[in-house]
Structure 1
Amino acid sequence: MGLISGVLAMLFGGGRNVVRETAEVFRENADANAKRGVTIQSQAMTQFGAEFQVPRKGGFDRFMDGLNRLPRPALALGTLGLFVAAMVDPLWFAARMQGIALVPEPLWWLLGVVVSFYFGARHQAKMQDLQRDITTTMLHVPTVMANIEALRQMRSDSPGAADTGSDAQLAMDVTHPDANPALEDWRRLRQA
């Protein structure tokens, strides 16, 4: 009995719990973690609230607040504008994208660093992938422009849209209309 009580006293006696202390080496104490989380969150909220207790007196402060809110919506609306521009005037858009294709790579890197610093959690690899994607897209521009030109020629209001070209069978089909029994009946009724 003395040995067992000595081992138990060593493990749990003197205000200590060796089993718990050993387990906390491998797994975080959930109760202590929750207490730390509450402390951190309350400190963050206190700091956040203190930022808004500073009186904004001048127009400069209001201007800077507005300026800080501008880049994200401007980038989002600008990107949507590029999609609209690509559909409305493909030639204008293609010319602008050709200009972007001429931007040297170090300048893309610099833009990537600035955007990464401003927005955070952006990586240089993303910008390089974007540049590669833009280059790949630009390779498709001649095909897209040829397709658009072909579509323009197919419009019913373009000159020569009804031209049969060198297709003799099509020319004969166009000049000799099909029989229309309803039209023949109508003509007979009008003559009677």
Structure 2
Amino acid sequence: MGLIGQIFGMGGAAKQIGEAVGGVAEVIVGNRAERDAAAAAQIAGAVSQFEGEFASAGALWFDRFVNGLNRLPRPMLALGTLGLFAYAMAEPAGFSTRMQGLGLVPEPLWWLLGAIVSFYFGARELHHQRTRTAVTLARAATAAVKSADPAPPATALAMPLLAPETKPAVTEARAEDPDFNAAVEEWRRLGA
């Protein structure tokens, strides 16, 4: 503001007003550098965790055998169903006898079989969906960390980003809510 600001006496006041507005905006919006540093630290922590989870533990023969057994039910059910069609065409009388025998199975037992099969395949699909998501997130996190300009030292990642006496607002719980405001939630938490 220079000479004109000094003439009108607004140099210091305008600077203080600007700093106050900047401080209020930072409370509401947050500091982008701190958010980016926290995100980088979180990504680096997730990548190191994924590295530990996906590291080969030197599987023994028993582990490989059990993994092989775990892979058998789906192909066996699929091939068994196709085998039933072949059996029905090859020997219709025997197939009819077997199907009449299945008709004598009580309905609660069918419900139990359906629950077991759906829990098995549902849990298996959920496990694989989580694994695919975790691997995709790990690859994205690794790419993000590698593409960052300067890699922060490992000690900087372990240090807290805020002063120890301050507690950041909990934003993870409702961060996807469009009406969520971290500053207002922190203000409510402080009882103001």
Identify whether the pair has TM-score above 0.5, normalized to the shorter chain. no
Bigger-Rg structure (1/2): 1
Higher relative contact order (CA 8 A, sep 6+): 2
Scaled by the length of structure 2, the TM-score of the pair is 0.41
